[in-house]
């Protein structure tokens, strides 16, 4: 596992840029933070390019992931990358993917997610149809 200790390292600067929309769009990647998000990304087969792990994290706590893509970082770097007050000390860079294929965008469509009441689906379809 590679070790990075300086906040002036070029890779650290690139990771930090992923906090901005412009940086994410330019790189085509985004940064996630925390054990839960990383476990969900792994479970959903996200294209994780690299995982950054603070030197404070116990080895047995690290999720199973390709060791060649793991980078150990200093606590100082973890603080720089973190967008929370108390960092969990684990981050990942993920390749952005298009959730909707381009040909689908040429025609109107209605995207529904986790609808609580099936009766609402009919209402949404009728409303969308009326709106054109």
Helices (H) and strands (E) in the chain, counts: 5, 5
Over the stretch 83-102, which tens digit does the pLDDT of each residue have? 988 889 999 999 998 766 66
pLDDT for 102: 62
Burial of 101 (0-12, 13-18, 19+ CB in 10 A): exposed
pLDDT for 37: 92
Over the stretch 4-14, which tens digit does the pLDDT of each residue have? 999 999 999 99
Over the stretch 11-46, which tens digit does the pLDDT of each residue have? 999 999 999 999 999 999 999 999 999 999 998 889
Q: Would you place residue 52 in the very low, low, confident or very high pLDDT band (cuts 50, 70, 90)? A: very high
Residues of CATH 3.30.1330.30 domain(s) within the chain? 2-95
Residue 113 has pLDDT above 80, yes or no: yes
Q: Which residues pair with 41 in a beta bridge?
A: none
Q: Which residues pair with 94 in a beta bridge?
A: 30, 48
Q: Would you place residue 105 in the very low, low, confident or very high pLDDT band (cuts 50, 70, 90)? A: low
Q: Which CATH number fits domain 2-95: 3.40.718.10, 3.40.50.10800, 3.30.1330.30, 2.40.420.20?
A: 3.30.1330.30
Query: 75-96: b or e for each residue (b if 16 or more CB lie within 10 Å)?
Result: eebbebbbeeeebbbbbbbbee
């Amino acid at each position: 596992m590679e070790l990075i200790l300086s906040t002036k390292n070029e890779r650290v600067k690139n990771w930090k840029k992923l906090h901005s929309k412009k940086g994410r769009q330019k790189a085509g990647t985004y940064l996630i933070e925390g054990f839960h998000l990383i476990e969900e990304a792994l479970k959903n087969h996200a294209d994780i390019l690299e995982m950054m792990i603070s030197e404070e994290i116990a080895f047995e706590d690290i999720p199973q992931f390709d060791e060649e893509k793991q980078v150990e970082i200093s606590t100082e770097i973890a603080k720089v990358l973190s967008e929370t007050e108390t960092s969990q000390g684990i981050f990942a860079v993920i390749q952005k993917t298009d959730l909707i294929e381009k040909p689908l965008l040429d025609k109107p469509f209605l995207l529904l997610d986790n609808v609580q009441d099936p009766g609402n689906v009919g209402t949404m379809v009728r409303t969308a149809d009326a709106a054109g």
